[in-house]
Every structure is written in C-alpha cells, then in structure tokens.
A and B are shown apart, each in its own frame.
Chain A
Amino acid sequence: MALTRATRPAARVPQALRRKRRRETARTLAFLSPWLIGFGFFFAYPLISTVYFSFMKYDGFAPPVFTGLKNWDYVFNHYPFFWQGLRNTLWLVVVMVTLRVLFGLGIGMLITKVKSGAGLFRTAFYLPYLAPPVAATIAFAFLLNPGTGPVNHLLGKLHLPQPGWFNDPTWSKPALTMLALWGIGDLMVIFMAALLDVPTEQYEAAELDGAGPWQRFRYVTYPNISPIVMFAVVTGVIQTMQYYTQAIVAGQVASGIIGGSGEQFEPGFPQGSTWTLPQMVYNLGFQRFDTGSACVVALVLFALSMAFTSLLLRRRAGFVTSED
C-alpha cells in the first residue's frame, strides 16, 4: 500500500490529513474519557440493568427469576401508594412550582426596586436557599409542630385556625410548599439577573406612551424575561418529580417513629399525603426488598423526567448557549 501511495503524490495529502484527523479523534476521546466511562458505567449500564430487573423477581438474595409483567402489574394495580404518589406529585407540580415561580419573580422584582440596603436584603432573601435540606426540614418541622411550634402559637394569638401541618394530610403538602418558598434564593437570583437585563429604553418608551405599571410589566418586562420564566417552570417541574429529601424527612420527623425501635418508618406520613415516586423506589427496593417493582417505579420516574427534559431541550435557544 505504501508503495502505491508513494507513486501517486496526490494521495500524500489525504494521508497526512487522515493522520491529523486520527490524532484529533484520539485527543477528543482522551478529553472526554472521564465522562464517557461515567456515562457508560453510571448511566447506560444501570439503566439497562433497571429494565432487566423490572421483569425479574429478585429479593437481593435468591437468584433473580423471570416473572414477565408481574412487577408492572403489581406497581400499577396493587401497590397501594403508586397512584396516590402520582397525585401528590401533580399537586406539587401545580401548586408548588407555580407559587415558587410567582414568588421568585416577585422577590426578584422587589430586590431590583430596593434602593437602600439592597445587598443586605439580597443576602437575607438568599440565605435560606443555602440551608441543607435535612436541616431546613427539621427546622420547619419544629416551627410548624402543632403542639408548641411558634407558628401555631402566633396563629392562636391571632384567633386563627391552627392546622396540624406535617401531621395533617390536608396540610402536609402546603407545609412542604412553605418550606420550598422559604428556599426561593436560586430563582430570585436568576430572575434578578434577567430583570436587570431588560433594556431601560423600553421602559422609558413605554412610560412616554403613558403605560401604567401593569402594562409596563405585560408589554415590556414579561416579553423580555419569558424564556427565563419558561426555564424556571420546566426545571421546577423536573425538580418536583425528584422531590425526595424534604418529604421523607418531614414525614419521619412528624411521625415521631424512632429509628431502631423495631418499628419501621414507611414514607408518605401522614396517611400517604407526602408520597412521591423517588420515595417509592426507596420503599420498594430497600425496605420491602422487592427489587423488580422498585425498578418499575424507577423507569416511570425516568420516562417522566426525560419527557420534561426534552421539553427543555426543544427550547434550547434560551437555555443552552450555542457555540457561535
């Protein structure tokens, strides 16, 4: 081969080019290698394995046995918490995400209007976002505890009803929503940056045309920040489907079940009102040793997450900066 190449001078260039390409490919692969391994090992392999186990009966000890669609049937038709958990998630998506976006936008607008002590206010508003979720949830479980909690004490003094919060199935999700609103710092910063990017000339022009505050918001602010609102909504929905730590910790603290006393805590307290899909994976896989059914729930969770992620990717223009 080398001989034929040497006789044809024109072929020499492609060969050099090819060698350069090969070197570039090797270089690209080298730079990507940590992630390629990670992708294969912590994403592709476990995902395939999850699909495999969803058709198997496996308790973690005896070898897995093929059971067809039994696990799927169990999760959809017999596992008592599945639909309740989906309804809870829907509730959280509708109420918690909406309120978080509105509240985040409101706080973001407020902070851009504050003239004195803006830095101090910004820090105060941002701080709760930093509180570790377990710590924040335990703090709220204390603040909202029905017996001696300061919030109910205050409500009592004002002669207002004192809900049971984390101990009452109708109030547990509103309590979690309050906790989520307390940690609004991330959205506040994102909206603040977006609001500051709105060109001031547009406001001046609107004012000259005699636009009131609502019209200025409707026709100037909103069109400018709508991609960020969309971003906040979609990422909010994705985060809500993954809602885990706060729900499980709040349920556990409020239930008062002490670890190690023989009584095992099942998530969802009170009365299943805080069940979410990720907790079901934990419950089925690590408390009930029903690996197959846990994998079914995991796949449902995966499908839902990917559906909303593709929504985010379709709106890529406002989310991922393109290269050029």
Chain B
Amino acid sequence: MTLTSTPTLAKPVGAGRHGDAVRAARRRAALHWVAVHSTAVAAALFFLMPFVFVFLTSVMTDRQALTTDFWPQNWQWGNYVKVWQTPGFLTWWRNTLVYAGAGTALTIVSSLPVAYALARFRFRGRNLALMAVISMMMLPPQVTVIPMYLFWAKQLHLTGTLWPLIIPMAFGDAFSIFLLRQFLLTIPKEYTEAARVDGCGELRTLLRVILPMARPAVSAVALFQFFYCWNDYFGPQIYSSENQGAWTLSYGLQSFKSAHHTNWNLTMAATLLVMAPVIVLFFFAQKAFIEGVTLTGVKG
C-alpha cells in the first residue's frame, strides 16, 4: 500500500531538494514494506510448514513414508479410510464429542451465575472468593488427582467411563468464571438497575438482560472449554484409559502411534483427523475466539 504513495506530492516545479527528500522517504517506506512482508512470509512458513509436511506424509505409501522424500509418489487417500476404520477410532470421536459437548454446556450453566454474583453482588468475602477462583485457575490438575482418583475409583467405581471427566464441569470452572466476570464488569450497572426497578428478579435479569449482552463472552468461554476438553490428555489418561471404550481422541491418538510405530503415514493421517475439527471450528468462530483471548485478563 505504501508502495503506491500519492504522486501529487512530487511537484514538477521546484522539484530540487524537496523532490529528493520525498523520493528518499518513499524509498525508505518501500524498503520497510519489503522488510516487514518478507519477515512475515518467513514466519508464515515456520508456522505452516509443519502442517504441509504432516499432510504430504499422510498420503504416502507405507514404504515411502519411511524415506526422506518430500512429495508423495502416488497419493494414498486410502490412508484416511484405513485410519477411520481402525477399531475404536469412531468410538474415540464419539467420546470426545460427548466429553467436549456436555462439558462445555455444563460449564456455562454452572459458571455464569457465579460470575454474575462475583461481578454484581456486594457481599462480605467477595474479594476472597475472587482470589480463590484465581488460585483454582492456576492449580495444576495433578495436585488434587490422587484423592480424586481414589474417590472416583473406590467410592463410585466410575473410572473407565467419561463421568469423572464430565461431572466436575457441573460445579463451575475457575477460568470460565473469571473470564465471564471480567466481561460482566464492562456492562453498565444501569441495565441491571433498570431491570430491578421493573421488578425483575436477579435470575430473570441475568437470563433476559445480561445474557444477551454477554453473548460474545459466553461464546468465547464455550469455545475455550470445548477446546480444553477436546485437547485434554491428562484427564482421560487418568480416569478413563483403563477401558478402551471410554478413550478420547487425544488418548487414542497416542496409543495409535504406539501401535503403528513404523507407519508415519497412518499416524500423520490420524493426527490431521484430530486437528481438523478444532481448526474448522476456529474458522467459523474466529472473531469470538480472538476476542476471548484478548479478554483473558489484560485489559487494565
């Protein structure tokens, strides 16, 4: 854009020193443009080449995948069919969808009222509650895993199912609560006060007045939670791995690699099949997603 800077600046009369300066500035701008964009292209290559390599290898023959070839000799689209027909692959898909879908829905339903209370109600210990939320947000799941595993395994005998992954989502997720609260604070108080004057109860206010306004934040939180569940490896490894019928894609993919350890082509096809849904989802919800990342707590 800067390359085609306005020609009206260079006047034919008295072009002497003034024209030189303009030309120099224009040359500098052009060089700057080239420098910025070639750096950007180099960076784009770094970010995209892994995808390209993974894809090209995924359509190679078993034998060619073991060579250093870059380009497939004949394209084996059948690899994707083979992966799809691997015993269990469809089950892993279904389990991941159930975990991510139910987990997301439960998280939103349970986190929104908490976030609303933290953002709007005045009560003693509110700051303490907020600090507790932030601490929980930063807590590695491994800290509490031993007693939780014993609880799910010994008391409820639910390990080897998806329940230990899904049920906790019904009790609020710290990160979602925090993010929703941050957004709810930006909604002017006048709206809630007007609703109250009209005799609206708090729950009605939340659902009828606040929720429609908080839609961007809610969808960002939903996306984050969906991605979290989709990507989760530790949870499924601990709670559901003992039963193959309860494996999720992340866990299944890892074992797929172990089972096909010399077949890089099949492993890469499976890897792409696990990556694809989140990437497709991202293209549909790009805006909500980027807004959500920005919301993660950097608006001072």
Q: Identify the A interface with B (CB < 8 A).
A: 24-25, 27-28, 30-32, 34-35, 37-39, 41-43, 45-47, 49-50, 53, 60, 107, 110-111, 113-116, 121, 123-128, 130-136, 138-140, 142-143, 145, 148, 150, 153, 182, 186, 189-190, 193-194, 227-228, 231, 238, 241-242, 244-245, 249, 252-253, 256-260, 277-278, 281-282, 285-286, 291, 294-295, 298-299, 301-302, 305-306, 308-309, 312-313, 317-321, 323
Could you tell me if A286 and B121 are in contact, using CB atoms closer than 8 angstroms? no
**Does B21 interact with chain A (Cβ within 8 Å)?**
no
Give the interface segment out of B9-17, B191-199, B210-218, B248-256. B248-256
Most buried by A among B47, B123, B238: B47
How near does chain B come to A223, taking the closest CB pair, in angstroms? 13
- Which residues in A have their C-beta under 8 angstroms from that of B140? 241-242, 244, 278, 301-302, 305
- Which residues in A have their C-beta under 8 angstroms from that of B102? none
Most buried by A among B110, B111, B146, B271: B146
Which of B44, B147, B230, B296 is close to A124, meaning CB atoms less than 8 Å apart?
Answer: B44
How near does chain A come to B283, taking the closest CB pair, in angstroms? 8
- A214-B105 Cα distance, complex, nearest whole Å: 48
- A38-B2 Cα distance, complex, nearest whole Å: 56
Most buried by A among B39, B261, B293: B293
- Which residues in A have their C-beta under 8 angstroms from that of B117? 28, 31-32
- Which residues in B have their C-beta under 8 angstroms from that of A257? 258
Residue of A nearest to B45 (CB): A124
**Told that A127-B48, A182-B50 touch, could you supply 15 new A-B pairs with CB distance under 8 A?**
A27-B121, A30-B113, A43-B132, A110-B39, A127-B279, A127-B282, A135-B275, A143-B54, A242-B142, A244-B233, A245-B233, A258-B258, A305-B138, A312-B138, A321-B185
Could you tell me if A130 and B279 are in contact, using CB atoms closer than 8 angstroms? yes
Residue of A nearest to B264 (CB): A142
Which of B67, B139, B146, B297 is close to A294, meaning CB atoms less than 8 Å apart?
Answer: B146
- A313-B144 Cα distance, complex, nearest whole Å: 22
Could you tell me if A132 and B296 are in contact, using CB atoms closer than 8 angstroms? no
Which of A139, A153, A252 is close to B50, meaning CB atoms less than 8 Å apart?
Answer: A139
Residue of A nearest to B32 (CB): A113
Could you tell me if B129 and A45 are in contact, using CB atoms closer than 8 angstroms? no
Could you tell me if A228 and B233 are in contact, using CB atoms closer than 8 angstroms? no
- A123-B142 Cα distance, complex, nearest whole Å: 33
- A121-B39 Cα distance, complex, nearest whole Å: 11
Binary A-proximity of B253-272 (CB < 8 A = 1, otherwise 0): 11101110100100110011
Could you tell me if A134 and B53 are in contact, using CB atoms closer than 8 angstroms? no
- A252-B47 Cα distance, complex, nearest whole Å: 24
Which of B33, B70, B282 is close to A130, meaning CB atoms less than 8 Å apart?
Answer: B282
- A107-B234 Cα distance, complex, nearest whole Å: 30
Could you tell me if A39 and B136 are in contact, using CB atoms closer than 8 angstroms? yes
Residue of B nearest to A131 (CB): B275
- Which residues in B have their C-beta under 8 angstroms from that of A115? 1-2, 33, 36-37
**Does B135 interact with chain A (Cβ within 8 Å)?**
yes
- Which residues in B have their C-beta under 8 angstroms from that of A182? 46-47, 50
Q: Identify the B interface with A (CB < 8 A).
A: 1-2, 33, 36-37, 39-40, 43-44, 46-48, 50-51, 53-54, 57, 66-68, 70, 110-111, 113-114, 116-119, 121, 123, 129-136, 138-140, 142-151, 168, 170-172, 177, 182, 185-186, 202, 227, 230-231, 233-234, 237-238, 249-251, 253-255, 257-259, 261, 264, 267-268, 271-272, 274-275, 278-279, 282, 286, 290, 293-294, 296-300
Could you tell me if B268 and A139 are in contact, using CB atoms closer than 8 angstroms? yes
- A24-B202 Cα distance, complex, nearest whole Å: 10
How near does chain B come to A114, taking the closest CB pair, in angstroms? 5
- A309-B136 Cα distance, complex, nearest whole Å: 10
Could you tell me if B261 and A298 are in contact, using CB atoms closer than 8 angstroms? no
Could you tell me if A35 and B144 are in contact, using CB atoms closer than 8 angstroms? no
**With known contacts A291-B146, A309-B135, A131–B114 Cβ distance under 8 A:** no
- A3-B129 Cα distance, complex, nearest whole Å: 40
**With known contacts A34-B110, A53-B147, A110-B39, A256–B261 Cβ distance under 8 A:** yes
- A193-B237 Cα distance, complex, nearest whole Å: 36
Could you tell me if B50 and A140 are in contact, using CB atoms closer than 8 angstroms? yes
Could you tell me if A309 and B134 are in contact, using CB atoms closer than 8 angstroms? yes
- Which residues in B have their C-beta under 8 angstroms from that of A60? 150
